[in-house]
Amino acid sequence: MCHKIRTVCFVILGLLTMPFNGVAGEQSFHDFTVTSIDYTDMPLEDYKGKVVLLVNTASKCGYTPQYEGLQALHDTYQDRGFLVLGVPANDFWSQEPGTEDEIKQFCEVNFNIQFPMTKKMIVNGKEGTAPVYEFLAAELGDKSRPKWNFHKYLIDQNGKPVGYFKSRVKPNSTKILTAIDELLAGP
């Protein structure tokens, strides 16, 4: 009996602590707050009206050179209402072992990263996965979960996830550029 009551309490507590915008089934990317790489709150509602490319990153990965392309993409489109949001993750072969200060320094020194970044998060669907990543997987399906570093989610101006790109898809690929151009052009 105690086990059943405890389970019910955990379910209720989980529902009460989930981000919620007041309308069931209409949650958006903008309903979440994450923590920046500098340990300050980063409400994603600050990005309303912008197209966002959310990318889980790592400093010791074969795809790490994509940082250069991500910064170029950010620079090219930022004046049109676009931004890259980097999310360091140590989920895949421990390829992001550093502290937030070390990650930030690595990104600035080696790639002159100017786009916003969060603190490290768990992104791959295992225990402790960041709520925003659970939301993205719920919206786009379990197959959309990151399987490696530099997995990219594209979110529209209203906070709706509209697609994802696997790690091997480079930031300057026609696939990504076309998707961003279409979103920025509007309906």
Contact status, residue 159 vs residue 28, Cβ threshold 8 Å = yes
- Domain assignment of residue 14, yes or no: no
In a domain, 6, yes or no: no
Regarding beta strands 161-165 and 152-155, do their DSSP bridges make them parallel or antiparallel, or are they unpaired? antiparallel
pLDDT in tens, 106-153: 999 999 999 999 999 999 989 999 999 999 999 999 999 999 999 999
Mean pLDDT of 83-88: 98
How many domains is the chain partitioned into structurally?
A: 1
Residue 136 lies in a domain: yes
Output the pLDDT for position 20: 38
Identify whether 127 is part of a domain: yes
In this structure, is residue 141 part of a structural domain? yes
If you average pLDDT over residues 40-46, what whole number do you get?
Answer: 98
Residue 83 belongs to some domain of the structure: yes
Any domain includes 3: no
- Assess whether 61 carries a catalytic annotation: yes
Q: Which domain holds residue 48?
A: 32-185
Q: What are φ and ψ of residue 81, in 5° steps? A: 95, 40
Chain center to CA of 153: 7
- Residue 175, Cα to own-chain centre: how many angstroms? 19
In a domain, 38, yes or no: yes
Contacts of residue 135, defined as CB under 8 A and 6 or more positions apart, other chains included, come to: 19, 27, 29, 31, 32, 161
Q: How many residues does the chain have?
A: 187
CATH number of the domain within which 157 lies: 3.40.30.10
Find the catalytic residue in 2, 9, 61, 107.
61
pTM: 0.87
